Amino acid sequence: MLSGQPGRVCSSLAVGFPRKGIGIIKRTMNLVPVNIDSILIGQPLPCALRDVSGVLLASQGFMVNNRQELEMMVGRRSQIYIDADQSDNFKRGYVNRINDLVRQDRSLGQIAEVQISPYDNKKATAVEARDEPDWLDLQSQTHAMLRDANGDTFLPRLQRLQTELERHTLRNPDGTLFALIHLSSSEVRKYSATHAMLVCVMCYLAAREVLKWPPEQLSALCNAALTMNVGMTELQDRLAQQKEQLTPEQTKRIESHAARSVDLLQGMGVADALWLEAVMFHRAHTPGPLAPRSAGKRLARLIQRADMFGARIAPRVSRLPDAPSTAMQACYFDENKQIDEAGAALIKAIGIYSPGTFVRLTSNEIAVVVKRGLNTTTPKVAVLINRHGMATGEPMLRDTSQADFRIVASVPHRDVKVNHSLERLLPLTKNSASDRPW
């Protein structure tokens, strides 16, 4: 990357291997991210495809013959790029792709999934910045995927989603939790998508960092968390905005959705026994330790506890949400009012005051949690409202392990009447030398 030129990579063109005395022609490329589902199948590529470093994956004019060939070319990359100078060519191909889907009478979910880029071109700045997640776009992609469970595209899209969530969680767990809890607490239109992502990330952190489960179980756990409600996605979104009580038919569909989700997954080719068992039993209310359970039911219990947390913090038209700290404490005790092993693992991993939670301090300031602390009750926070009830010009960081800034109460999301954005607060969630390692 060229120093001082964000968003540009250097492309070197030379005959043979460069050596002393041979001139190398250099030019810079502005790389623009594109969605894999906007790549034309069976037609010449309108422009070259590259990875984040500018390495060529496929040249202009190359023919991608089928979806499998495209997946092999992209590999495990969560994002591919084009040169901004060729973006007009790509846009024309994108329009042709949309027109083809309309002529084929494809579902709205499939059409919605075809996007030129998960970012506005105006946001295409530094490569590092573009590698930051666009949470609203990821929410939209998950929403489209869950509402259109098509066997040909669902599993590849699910794998990309899981890979991207894992990458962002490992790079910045506090920022990932902050974004997903913020989205879960602030809107209901894409409830099923946000809920699935939040449960997935919570379970991943608890299983990896606290319970120390092996990688194959982590993969099955994340897949199950993302797909546990695929059998009732549309109903789940509708219920978040429904004022009336459940109808008998809706109740029946809720009670049977786990089995329906398993049937849909098996129909799409899923054969992972852990994944399927976790989905089948993710609604089971069975107290007791994890060790005596089968592996799939251990996964299911962790999902059930995180599922309960996510449901409690989400606003509904018919009821007010719980504060995240209240919802987390409810996960701590099982159906017999005993400490729940899975719930305790979640609290240890996420904290009682999780990132995205609003709190009142002993200083009478209102702050939002931006980072987990050394224990579950002393996170790092950013003050948004000062002790006089006025919005701060810039967020002021506080360490709640200090006596002057102890947390005295949670504050409901709806009661915080200041404008704040993910873009403004997410940089505060990044690791520093004083933070605990994760």
pLDDT, tens digit (0-9, with 9 covering 90-100), for 193-233:
999 999 999 999 999 999 999 999 999 999 999 999 999 98
Residue 399's closest CA among 342, 353, 333? 353
Determine, yes or no, domain membership for 210: no
Determine, yes or no, domain membership for 242: no
Q: How far is CA 157 from the centre of its chain?
A: 13
Domain boundary among 84, 101, 120: 120
Average pLDDT for 141-148: 88
Has this prediction a pTM greater than 0.85?
no
pLDDT of 86 reads 67
* pLDDT score for 47: 80
Q: In the numeric block, which tokens belong to residue 67?
A: 């979806």
Share of the chain above pLDDT 70, in %: 78
Task: Determine, yes or no, domain membership for 270.
Answer: no
Domain of residue 37 covers: 29-120
Mean pLDDT (whole number) for 8-23? 37
| Token pair listed for 61 | 């004019």
Q: Is 82 a member of any domain?
A: yes
Give a yes or no: residue 114 inside a domain: yes
CA distances from 395 to 118, 176, 220, 356 (A): 28, 19, 39, 14
Report, as an integer, the average pLDDT of 368-391: 92
Question: How much is the pLDDT for 335?
Answer: 93
pLDDT for residue 147 is more than 70: yes
Q: Which pLDDT score is estimated for 89?
A: 61
- Rounded average pLDDT over 155-183: 93
Tell me the HSE value of 77 on the side-chain side, using a 13 A CA sphere: 22
68 belongs to a structural domain:
yes
Give the domain-ending residue among 120, 145, 177: 120
Distance, in Å, from the CA atom of 243 to the CA atom of 345, rounded to the nearest integer, reads 34
Q: Is the Cβ–Cβ distance between 107 and 152 less than 8 Å?
A: no
Quote the pLDDT of residue 336: 93
Q: Is residue 38 one of the residues assigned to a domain? A: yes
Q: Looking at the domain assignment, is residue 283 inside a domain?
A: no
Mind listing the pLDDT tens digit for each residue in 230-286?
999 888 888 888 888 889 999 999 999 999 999 999 999 999 999 999 999 999 999
Number of domains in the chain: 2
Model confidence at 23: pLDDT above 80? no
Report which of 157, 67, 74 is spatially closest to residue 110, judged by C-alpha positions.
Answer: 157
Out of 71, 90, 120, pick the residue that ends a domain: 120
Higher pLDDT, 213 or 420: 213
The whole-angstrom separation of Cα 218 and Cα 207 is 7
Contacts of 120 (CB under 8 A, 6+ apart): none
Distance CA 420, CA 345 (A): 31
